């Protein structure tokens, strides 16, 4: 009960602070301050669903990087390489940016295989950096 009272007090304070802020958050940001209490099973399901979304976003990111690199979109903005542009534009460290470009280039035809439900074993070896 004490935890519920503390949580309710904190929620009221945050809502009051948001209402009086000079730069209030716009919906839906102003409604996402408190996560509902979930059971362990629900948390496990949410983790699995979020992992699927991350995989899909990574797939799309690699497709975009591959196409951007192939069309030298980075050169028009004054970068010396696609990895240099990635490091500048999205704040990756240079080694991580080079790795993204390497994986995108290496998976040129294999990314299409990830559009289905199951990735091929050959594609997984290339994306992980291991021989398949």
Q: What residue segments make up the domains of the chain, in order of their start?
A: 1-34, 39-128
The structure's pTM equals 0.55
The pLDDT tens digits of the residues spanning 48-104 come to 999 999 999 999 999 999 999 999 999 999 999 999 999 999 999 999 999 999 999
- CA nearest neighbour of 100 among 90, 113, 115: 90
Q: Percent of the chain, pLDDT > 70?
A: 55
Buried b (16+ CB within 10 A) or exposed e, 94-122: eeebbebbebbeebeebbeebeeeebeee
């Amino acid at each position: 009960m004490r935890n519920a009272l503390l949580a309710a007090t904190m929620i009221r304070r945050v809502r009051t602070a948001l209402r009086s802020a000079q730069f209030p958050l716009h919906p839906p940001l102003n409604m996402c301050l408190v996560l509902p209490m979930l059971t362990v099973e629900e948390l496990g399901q949410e983790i699995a669903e979020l992992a699927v979304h991350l995989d899909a976003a990574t797939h799309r990111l690699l497709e975009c990087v591959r196409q951007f690199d192939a069309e030298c979109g980075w050169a028009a903005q004054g970068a010396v390489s696609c990895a240099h542009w990635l490091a500048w534009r999205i704040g990756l460290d240079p080694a991580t940016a080079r790795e993204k470009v390497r994986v995108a280039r290496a998976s040129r035809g294999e990314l299409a295989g990830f559009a289905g439900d199951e990735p091929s074993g050959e594609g997984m070896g290339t994306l992980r950096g291991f021989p398949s």
